Every structure is written in structure tokens, then in C-alpha cells.
Structure 1
Amino acid sequence: MDPHTSAQDVMRCDLCETAVVQMHCDTCLVNLCKACVGEHMISDESKKHDIVKFKLRKTTPKYPGCTFHAKERCEMYCNHCDIPVCINCIASDQHKGHTFLKILQVLDERKNKIMKDLTELNETIYPTYQDIASDVQNRMSKLQKKYGDLSTAITKHGEDWHREIDKLVQKLKAEVDEMKNTHLQTLQKDLDEINKTMSDIKDEIDSNDVIVNENDISKLFSVTYDLSRYRNLPEKIVPSLPKFTPGRIGEELGKLFGTLSSSSLTSDKHGYSMKTIQKSPEAGSSPPVKQLLDQPETVTTIDTGYDEYLLNVACLSDKKIWTCGNGNTMKLFSINQGSRLKSIRTKSGYAPYDIAVTKSGDLVYTDYIDSTVNIVKNEKIEEVIRLQNWKPMGVCSTSSGDLLVIMVSDDDKQTKVVRYSGSTEKQTIQFDDKGKPLYSSGHYNRYITENRNLDICVSDEEARAVVVVNQAGKLRFRYTGHTPAPKNQPFSPRGITTDSQSHILTADYNNDCVHIIDQDGQFLRYIHCGLSKPMGLCIDTNDNLFVSQWLNRQVKKIKYLQ
């Protein structure tokens, strides 16, 4: 068997390009087989090559080079000068009488300090700013409602008057709008500053995570520690609403109709307190608002090479997608090049029903015939869930790291959604408040996704509906298509996904299009782009849509948001 064309690719030696990787040079970052280690060692004798087993790659510390003695590396640390030093530095008069430590000991201390700061940023500071942002948004929403109630009260009182006071009604409402806008603008500015700080914190977390993982001492020494600017929380701005005081009819018109009290904004330095509970960074962040394009456009098309049909698609990254179709092989493709990068065969030998990618980048697939849910880690397949008397269908990975699986009973009479944490069942969603089934029964296509607002969205082919429940499993709405349909065919929902705007997108197999609805089930528009029998959907981090097509076995990348 040709190792370059076999169905399941493995890492190859960077030198001979044929043998399987066994070793790694941490100095040159080169993958090697055992036979090529010697050749690599003599290829550049000016370097000290740190050869380790492949699984231990990137564990060798990267000692900084000495600035005073060329080709020497600093393995010690001068406490007096607070700098790394080499063996020649220690012997020099410059460091005479100084005390020294092994640099790895200092490295551990620095790492511990960075990890402590990262813990505070992740578990305390960033979640606090998330809650602050959420609090400001909630108060803005309540402020909108209260100002709306105020306008309604003025309007209701104005109905008791005749036409001659209409101008006065409009004048007072305009004052309310001006006060409202002033308050909202102030709170929006406050929210923008909070979101900017949250972005800075997230950048610092990501940057320090990379530095710690790289084990690069020079970079570790370049990290500065100043969290005081994040610990000093912003002041809490609290608007003071005006009051409308209606007057009695019969006196001077302006005074009788009523007046508005003045409004104000105050700041409370102690309005917020630091949180200690760790939360997911995605939970409180607000994505930038994106508008739908007037004309969605196809960016690229990928031929997957399946023999009969293509089922589903899942985004591994903005550059790679997983696909599944007829047969037992799941394929990984490069989006830009359209080339196949890897193939994985299912553990049972049966075709996968659905695929998804976890937050950590692992591939998950459901095996309907084998009644299992499996995860692929480092090209090894692990059985996560084995069902009894049920068959798994659609699967998705949630923002919390759980798995949502929609399944049908062996006798095709029941359908339910189950939430798993690892292999542990945490939640079952099957019936509405009246005890009626939320989903249709029978062997029909059903796929599942989680919206940004944590709603659970299911495409139910037999019911010809998208069924959306909240995180607790309570029914929010059913979307049963839009009239007129592009081909005047019954709504036939298949793959389903969501984007950063909390839009819900579902493939309509019968009408060769994708429906876009908002988070409350309101139809927004269709995506056509020459689609033919669309089946699976997924969204990358830039809100590009990927559509798998059943018969022509192609995946289309579509841009539909500005």
C-alpha cells in the first residue's frame, strides 16, 4: 500500500519523507524517523540538537543565547544583576561575588507567576467584565422599556385633550426622546469602553497562553505584569428617570397638561464587585453587528469525490472542513486548495450519520447502525456513548463543551434530545408543557445545533419544521417555512447551523435553498447561489457558510453577511 495514498494519513519524516515520524528535534523543529537522526545531527554541527521522542516535542527548554559570548547559551541566572548568564559570564570579573541560580529554577518561578496571573484573568477579571457588560445591556433594555412607558403615559393623557394641544404632546415626547438618547449614548459609550477592556484582557490571555506553551525563556522574560489597570473596575453609571406629572383640564393649557422633571446620570464607584466564578468567555461577549448581503455570493466550490452522495460538512477551522457521505470514510479538506488532507474510517465500518467538531478541535460522529457516538483524537477513535434501544442521529458540540444528540427509538416511535457531559447524561428534552412530543417520530432526517443565546435548534424533516427550545427545554417556536417557496415545494429542512448574529440557517432540500431566520423564528431571506439538493450546513468563525450538496457531492463556501 502506498503510504501517501492510503485512506488514513500519518506523519512522515521531514528528511526521507517516507518513514513514519518517531523523533523530533526541538532545536530545529524538524520531525524525524530514527534512521535520519544521525544525518540531521551532522547537517549543522554549529547547533546543539535536542532530539526527543515525537510525543515529547517542544518540551526541551529554549535557553537564551548569551549577548556577551557568542554561541554560548545561558543556563544560569545572576540574582544580583537579574539577568540570564552563561558559564563564561560566571567566570568573569563582571559577576564576581554574585550568587547564581539554575535558570530552570527561575523559569519555574516565572511560569508560576504567569499562570497565577492567567488564572486571575480567566477566572476573575474577564468574567467580571462579562457580567458588567451584561448588566449595562440589561439596564439599557429596561431603560428603553421605561422610557417607552413614559411616552405611552404622555400619549394616553394627550388623548383626553383636543387638537389644539397636539403640538404640546409632541414637544414633551421629544424631550423624553432627547433624555433617553442622552442616557443611552452615555451607557453605550460606557459599554464600548468595557468591551474594549475585555478585548485587551482576552488578547493578553491568548498571548500569555502562547508564551507559556512555547516554553521559550526569552519570551517568558519579556512578559510584564501589570494587572492593576484591570483590577480597578469602572464606575457604574445609573440614570435617574424623569417623571411625568399630568395636570387637570381647566387651567392654563401648558401647566395643566403636565411637565417632565429633569433627568440625570450618576456614577457609583462601588457599583460592581470582582467575581470569583469562572465563566466561558463567549457567554458575555457581544459580536459586532453584521448585515445580510443583498446578493449572497459563492466564494469557492470543493469536489469531495464521494461515489454516490454527500451528507454533511463541519468546520475544523477557517481553512479546513470535515465531510461525510456514502461509505465509512470521513474526509478532511483544505478550503483554499480544495485538496484532501486526511481520511478517517469509522470504527464499526458503517457510514456516519452526522459529524461535528468540538471546541478543542476533535471530530465527533454518530454511528446510527452501531448505536454509538464517537470522538476522533489524534486519529484514534474513542467510543464516547453507546445507546440501548435508541439510535443517534444529529450531533453538535455546545459552547459549554457538552454534546447534544438527537436520537430515535429502535421502534421509530419516539424522538428525543439528550445532553451529555462526556459519557454522562445530563438532560433529556422530549415533551412540551402539555406532555406532547416536541419532535416527530419515524426514521427521517433530524439535525441539531445550539444558538448563541443557548437555544437548542432541531431540523425535523418529517414535521417539516425547525423546532427551537430554550436551554431548559421549553418550546420557544416552530418554523414551518416561508411562502412563496422558491420551487413551490413543501419545506424539507435538513442540515442546520447558526452564526454570530444568532441567525438560524437550515437547508431546504426540496427547494434548493437555505432559509435564514432570526433567533425568534422570523423569516429573513433565502440563499440560492445555484444550490442543488443541499444537505449539511456549517459556519466558520468569519460567518462564511458551507453547504454540502447531496447529488453532485460538492461543498460550496458562501458569503452572505457583510
Structure 2
Amino acid sequence: MDPHTSAQDVKRCDLCETAVVQMHCDTCLVNLCTNCVGKHMISDESKDHKVVKFQARKSTPLYPGCTSHNKQQCTMYCNQCDIPVCIKCIASDQHLGQKVSEILKVVDEKKAKIIKERTELHEKIYPTYQGIAFDVQNRISQLEKEYGDLSTAITKHGEDWHREIDKLVKKLKAEVDEMKNTQLETLHKKHLDEINKKMSDIKDELNSVDVAVDSNDISKLFDITINVDRYKNLPQNFLPSLPKFIPGRIQELSKIFGTLSSSSSTSDENDYSIKTTQKSPEAGSSPPVKQLLDEPEIVTTIDTGYDNLYKVACLSDEEIWTRGNGNTMKLYSINQGSLLMSISTKSGGEPCDIAVTKSGDLLYSDHIDRTINIVKIEEKITLQNWIPRNFYLNTFSDDLLVMMYCKEKKQTKVVRYADFTEKQTIQFDDEGKSLFSSESQYNKYITENRNLDICMADKRAKAVVVVNQAGKLRFRYTGHTPAPKNRSFDPRGITTDSQSHILTADYNNDCVHIIDQDGQFLCFIDCGLSEPYGLCTDTNDNLFVAQCSSTQVKKIKYLQ
């Protein structure tokens, strides 16, 4: 079993590497089984091996060797020289008159100081940096969205301009055609027609003259009268005046179209501070550190009336949405346990998953018509070859993570949508192997942790698969032994809390597993649960568990 990807591997002997550890050498810092103790003792007889039970490891103090006196251990500490010293050092004149303390007392004081500083780092400073990182990531996501909106606005303005320019071009060309037709009509009907008339008259005159001149009838010659002067008055020269197109200066187009103001970034070294009070992740501060309760307690139980209950989602700290078998989704009051609203799917089929947007709208996936819908608004995402099942909605960024499968390809993938536009696909590891099991009949449940890890409870694989924001595998959690009912790990619903804990329902063992963000098991919640299925947490880290057969939702307090 790989210790890097398993949360429940046991310690093995450092010598034989097979037997379970039972002893520990405090001198060599080596883990041993009982069979290897003797072998280790004779491996280096120059050392004084201090072998203790594994549970009591590191209980024997290892005094530092004296640099001035060979083979002497420093059991004392010179406060003035700030160095460990041995008995011979004290007996010499080197530390005469200087204050000397027992080294174990100095070690205890130093350890107490280190533990205090470690506690401050762990409980205050590191969570603050987590909050800052979360805040910066949200700012990055928001910045990408706002710059996208800015580009969209410029594109739309450009399209508006194109339409107006097309109208203007059409109008100017129509005016050109009108001017052309007017001037052509003048040239044709008035000027050219007059000229053609006179040319016809001149031809008639010429024909008459030719006939008279060629005839031997003298009387015809005397009848001819030519009015040459009549044709010497030539028509006026009609010169049409063409309009001119005076284009605007393209160089000034940017000023007319619109300009961008300058962007700026500022930093304030005093902006962030170590805080101990809780604020939302949007504010950039870390949540207060909460300890797990020794005994989780059931606060409220709500009966939902389904034959089987599968999912619960918090609308607020007072109201929850539920979904079970059938096509109806129900809204309940947490305190009164009363039904507030029922909504049916558009297709009439059973919804696969539900979530609540930050604006309070109900989101559900429908495998019948392959859609993801927002109640009261409109269908937003329609898939072709893929069928949506479970999903997670980030209520801070409104990013949507959708688990979907393809029957034909026998594949499963996770797709991230931002503003209902596909942004990221997570499907394969670095070796090209599928991260998730492919069988369509097994549901998978998905959530996103505070550190932006994506966590999926994969029922078929009997594991919780966790990848980072880029889709790279971090670890697989395959349960903890012994489980409350000693049955195989059967993960169903999954959620996280303000401490970046990952909580997953174990259907077979009637409990909820809590692990940290690195996959280390912390504890079980098994306070009378029966077939836990769907999970969610509210803003106060109360856990809501949808129990399948009993169709009850239990509100559980598990953090201090």
C-alpha cells in the first residue's frame, strides 16, 4: 500500500520492512518489531541503545555530546555562553561564576516557546495565509470574468458600430444613386434629346439640298432656303457637377469609438492582518480554527416523506432543499421541519442532483433530457453525447462542476462551467488513465474544498478521489479500519467545511468519515445514523445528513 496515497497504512519495521512496529530505539530513531530488537542491539555495540515501546518513543532524552570533553554528555546548560556543557566543563575554570541550569529545564522552556509559536503558526498565521490565497484566487477568477465582460462589451459596441456603419454606407450609396439618376435624366431628356432633334433637322435639310442640287428641275433649286445661322447657335455645354465623398479621418476613429482608461494595481503591506474572528472567504480572512467534538450531537431531525432520500442542499441556515425518489424537490424549514415549497422537474424524471446558487435559485440536473436547469429562469446547459449526474456549485464564484458520463464511450469526466460556458475538463491522469470509474450505473458525488481541491466520492471505486485545481491527482482515500460496522467503504454524498475538512457519507457503515485536506483520517460521525446518503454544511459548519430509507434529514453539530 502506497503511504503517499493511503490514509490508513500501518507502521512497518525499519529492518525487516514487513512486521508491524512494536518497539523503538530512541538512540538511533529506528522503528523495530520484537523479532528485530536483538539484531539491532548488536548491530552497533558502541552505542547505548535505549529501546522502548513504540508508544513511548522519543521519551528518552538524547543529550548532546560535549565538544570540549570527548565521550561526555552535556546534561547542563550555561546561560551566559548559551551552550550545553558537561560536568567536566562546570568543574573547569571555563564557566566559573556563570549561571548554569539543568539542560532538561532549558529544553522544556524552549519546547514550550516553540510549541506556542507552532500553535500560532498553525492556528492563526497559516489559516490567515489560506484565507489570503483563497481571496487572491477569487480575485483572479473575478478579474478573468470582469475582463471577459469588458471584451464582450467592446465586441458588442463594435457590432453596434458595424450595424450603424452599414446603415450609413447604405444611405450614402442611395444618395449617390439618386444624384446620378437626376443628372442622367437631365443629360438624356433635355440636353441629348435637343441635340438629337437638331441633328435630325440638319439631316433633313441636307437631304432636301441634295435632291434639289441633283435634280434638273430648276424650280426646285429656287425653292430651297437654308437657314444656316439657325444651327450656328450651338446648345449650351451641360457639365454635371459630381458630389465628392469626404471620408472621416480613420486616425481619429479610436477617439470616436471609445477608449480604455488605464488599469492599475496597488499593494498595501498593512492590508492583511492576522485575524481570529470569522469572516466569509470573500473577505480574504481565514476562518477561526474549530476543534472536532468528542461526541457529535444531533440538533434537529426533519421527516421528508420520500420513499428514499438522496440529497440535501442548504438554502440558508433556516431552510434546506431535498430530493429523493420521484420528480419532486422539496423546501423545508429547518427549525419547524415544515414543508415550504415543492417543485417538479420539467421532464417529469427524477433529478440527479440539486444545489443552490448564491442568489438563492435552485439548480438541478436532469438525465432524461440531458440538461442542467435553474428553477424559474430557464434551461442553461444542454449536453449532446454526455449525460449529467451530480454537480457542485461554488457559491462564491458561481463556477459549476458537473460530473457526467458517456454510455457509448464508457467514460466519466468532470467539467467546470463559468457563466454556463465550458471552462475546464478533468478526466485523465498524467499517464492517460481515467481518474474516475466509468460505470454509469454508479453515482459519483462531487464538491470543491476551500483550498480549491476537487473532491469526488466514487462509489464504484470505493474511494474519495481528490485532484488539485489543475486536475492533477493529489490522493485517493479508501476508508479507515476498523469501521463502525466493519463493512467495506461505500462513499456516497460528500461536502467540506470551513476547516477544509472533507466529509463523506459511508452508506455501508452508517457513518460519516472526516478527513483533513491531505487525506489523513480524523474521526467518524456515527451517532445513530442509518444509510447516510446526501451531505451538506451550512455557514456555521452544522452538518446535514440525508438518510436514504428513513427519509429523515439530521442536523449534526460536530465542531466546537
Q: Provide TM-score, normalisation by structure 1.
A: 0.53
CA distance in 1, matches of 2:458, 2:331: 27
Residues 442-481 of structure 1: per-residue CA shift (max 9 Å, x gap): 0201010011111100000000000001111111110000
**SS of alignment partner, residue 282 of structure 1:** helix
Matches within 5 A, 1:302-321: 302-306=302-306, 308-321=307-320
Q: How far off its partner does 1:175 sit?
A: 8.3
Residues 84-137 of structure 1: per-residue CA shift (max 9 Å, x gap): xxxxxxxxxxxxxxxxxxxxxxxxxxxxxxxxxxxxxxxxxxxxxxxxxxxxxx
Answer whether contact 2:63 2:74 (CA < 8 A) is retained: no
CA distance in 2, matches of 1:188, 1:431: 34
What corresponds to 1:370 in structure 2? 369
Matches within 5 A, 1:108-257: 162-168=71-77, 169=84, 234=270
Matches within 5 A, 1:115-514: 162-168=71-77, 169=84, 234=270, 281-282=281-282, 284-306=284-306, 308-376=307-375, 380-398=376-394, 399-411=396-408, 413-443=410-440, 444-514=442-512
Answer whether contact 1:314 1:321 (CA < 8 A) is retained: yes
- Describe the shift of the 1:167–1:431 C-alpha distance in structure 2 as closer, same or farther (beyond 3 A): farther
Residues 401-426 of structure 1: per-residue CA shift (max 9 Å, x gap): 20001111123611111100122111
Q: How far off its partner does 1:381 sit?
A: 4.3
Q: How far off its partner does 1:431 sit?
A: 1.1
Answer whether contact 1:412 1:442 (CA < 8 A) is retained: no
Aligned residue among 540, 551, 554 for 1:553: 551
Structure whose CA Rg is larger: 2
- Aligned residue type for 1:471: Q
CA distance in 2, matches of 1:368, 1:425: 18
RMSD, matched Cα: 3.2
Q: How far off its partner does 1:284 sit?
A: 3.0
The runs of 4+ residues in structure 1 deviating greater than 6 Å are 171-176, 181-192
- Describe the shift of the 1:504–1:411 C-alpha distance in structure 2 as closer, same or farther (beyond 3 A): same
Q: How far off its partner does 1:391 sit?
A: 1.1
The answer to whether structure 1 residue 530 and structure 2 residue 439 are counterparts is no
Q: How far off its partner does 1:300 sit?
A: 1.1
What corresponds to 2:257 in structure 1? none
Q: How far off its partner does 1:179 sit?
A: 7.6
Answer whether contact 2:64 2:74 (CA < 8 A) is retained: no
CA distance in 2, matches of 1:190, 1:529: 31
Q: How far off its partner does 1:156 sit?
A: 12
Answer whether contact 2:64 2:73 (CA < 8 A) is retained: no
Answer whether contact 1:384 1:422 (CA < 8 A) is retained: no
Answer whether contact 2:507 2:531 (CA < 8 A) is retained: yes
- Aligned residue type for 2:325: N
- Describe the shift of the 1:186–1:544 C-alpha distance in structure 2 as closer, same or farther (beyond 3 A): closer
CA distance in 2, matches of 1:493, 1:416: 18
**SS of alignment partner, residue 74 of structure 2:** helix
Residues 119-175 of structure 1: per-residue CA shift (max 9 Å, x gap): xxxxxxxxxxxxxxxxxxxxxxxxxxxxxxxxxxxx998598744225445588678
**SS of alignment partner, residue 395 of structure 1:** strand
Answer whether contact 2:309 2:549 (CA < 8 A) is retained: yes
- Aligned residue type for 1:288: P
CA distance in 2, matches of 1:311, 1:394: 11
- Describe the shift of the 1:158–1:365 C-alpha distance in structure 2 as closer, same or farther (beyond 3 A): farther
Q: How far off its partner does 1:486 sit?
A: 1.4
Q: How far off its partner does 1:178 sit?
A: 7.8
**SS of alignment partner, residue 559 of structure 1:** strand
- Aligned residue type for 2:365: T
Q: How far off its partner does 1:503 sit?
A: 0.7
- Aligned residue type for 2:483: A
- Aligned residue type for 1:303: D
**SS of alignment partner, residue 329 of structure 2:** strand
**SS of alignment partner, residue 378 of structure 2:** strand
- Describe the shift of the 1:448–1:174 C-alpha distance in structure 2 as closer, same or farther (beyond 3 A): same
Answer whether contact 2:65 2:72 (CA < 8 A) is retained: no
- Describe the shift of the 1:395–1:156 C-alpha distance in structure 2 as closer, same or farther (beyond 3 A): farther
Matches within 5 A, 1:57-72: none
Q: How far off its partner does 1:433 sit?
A: 1.6
CA distance in 1, matches of 2:421, 2:414: 14
Answer whether contact 1:158 1:166 (CA < 8 A) is retained: no
Answer whether contact 1:333 1:340 (CA < 8 A) is retained: yes
Residues 289-321 of structure 1: per-residue CA shift (max 9 Å, x gap): 111111111111111112x21110000000000
Q: How far off its partner does 1:187 sit?
A: 8.7
- Describe the shift of the 1:181–1:548 C-alpha distance in structure 2 as closer, same or farther (beyond 3 A): closer
What corresponds to 1:24 in structure 2? none
CA distance in 1, matches of 2:300, 2:116: 46
- Aligned residue type for 1:497: T
- Describe the shift of the 1:158–1:340 C-alpha distance in structure 2 as closer, same or farther (beyond 3 A): farther
CA distance in 2, matches of 1:367, 1:400: 23
Q: How far off its partner does 1:488 sit?
A: 1.7
Q: How far off its partner does 1:234 sit?
A: 3.4
Higher relative CO (CA 8 A, sep ≥ 6), structure 1 or 2? 2
Answer whether contact 2:66 2:73 (CA < 8 A) is retained: no
Answer whether contact 2:537 2:543 (CA < 8 A) is retained: yes
Identity of aligned residues (%): 66
Answer whether contact 2:66 2:72 (CA < 8 A) is retained: no
- Describe the shift of the 1:235–1:179 C-alpha distance in structure 2 as closer, same or farther (beyond 3 A): farther
Answer whether contact 2:355 2:363 (CA < 8 A) is retained: yes
Residues 329-360 of structure 1: per-residue CA shift (max 9 Å, x gap): 11000000000111111121111001111222
Answer whether contact 1:357 1:396 (CA < 8 A) is retained: no
Q: How far off its partner does 1:326 sit?
A: 1.1
CA distance in 1, matches of 2:271, 2:326: 60
Answer whether contact 1:534 1:548 (CA < 8 A) is retained: yes
Answer whether contact 1:352 1:367 (CA < 8 A) is retained: yes
- Aligned residue type for 2:424: Q
- Describe the shift of the 1:402–1:232 C-alpha distance in structure 2 as closer, same or farther (beyond 3 A): closer
- Aligned residue type for 2:303: D
Q: Provide TM-score, normalisation by structure 2.
A: 0.54
CA distance in 2, matches of 1:546, 1:343: 19
**SS of alignment partner, residue 164 of structure 1:** coil
The size of the alignment, in residue pairs, is 327
What corresponds to 2:192 in structure 1? none
Q: How far off its partner does 1:282 sit?
A: 3.0
Q: How far off its partner does 1:526 sit?
A: 0.9
**SS of alignment partner, residue 73 of structure 2:** helix
Q: How far off its partner does 1:383 sit?
A: 1.3
